[in-house]
Amino acid sequence: MSKIQPAVAYTPVAKFFHWGMALLWIVAWALGFTAAHGGKALNPDFVLTFLHKSVASTIVFLTVFRLFWRFGHSPPALPATMSPLTQLFAHFGHLLLYAVALIALPISGWLLSSFAGKPILLAGFIHLPLLTEPDKALVATARLVHNYTAWFCGLMVLGHILAALKHHFIDRDDILMRMKWR
């Protein structure tokens, strides 16, 4: 009877979800930042806002597929050189990235648009329903929650990138290479 060997690298589908959604997330974040802080000079007709919502809404739906894939496909084991506490932090960090960056942030934006009565077009084509009735009294609070969540996510993504680089250049383990797009 043969033993099932643990995966030593992520599957091509997992890599596609990781790198594709990372690119979409960074684009959505940059568009949102520019739309929110660039004023009318950079976003005169709210085109950047439209693009931001279009990309971010796509992330919500890709996350559903990504989670289904992830539940059916275990990632490679972390290196034995990592302490149990470090492994726990790594697992918690990934859960936090999923929960906040891929779920809470896009949903908070969807709620913001819903309170404002503004439409969201999935991938720029499909109208998404409002999550709630418009309520102008809640728009400022929803915007504040969305903006702070975005900044928190930006810091988490930066931390994720720095951790991957630390693994590669300082620890010299194979963590980063497991996710390398080939």
Q: Which sign, positive or negative, has the C-alpha torsion 50, 52, 57, 58? A: positive
- 142 CB-contact burial (10 Å; exposed 0-12 / middle 13-18 / buried 19+): buried
pLDDT recorded at residue 1: 47
pLDDT recorded at residue 123: 84
Q: Could you report the average pLDDT of every consecutive run of 10 residues in the chain (182 residues)?
A: 60 94 95 91 91 93 92 90 94 94 93 96 90 97 97 96 94 90 74
Helix (H) and strand (E) counts in the chain = 7, 2
Q: Report which of 49, 42, 22, 25 is spatially closest to residue 150, judged by C-alpha positions.
A: 25
pTM of the model: 0.87
pLDDT recorded at residue 39: 85
pLDDT recorded at residue 124: 82
pLDDT recorded at residue 150: 96
pLDDT recorded at residue 94: 94
pLDDT recorded at residue 47: 93
Q: Report which of 62, 180, 78, 57 is spatially closest to residue 127, judged by C-alpha positions.
A: 57
pLDDT recorded at residue 4: 45
Alpha carbons 99 and 118: distance in angstroms, whole number:
25
Q: Are 94 and 66 in contact (CB under 8 A)?
A: no
Alpha carbons 4 and 173: distance in angstroms, whole number:
23
Q: What domains appear along the chain, each with residue ranges and CATH number?
A: 12-178 (1.20.950)
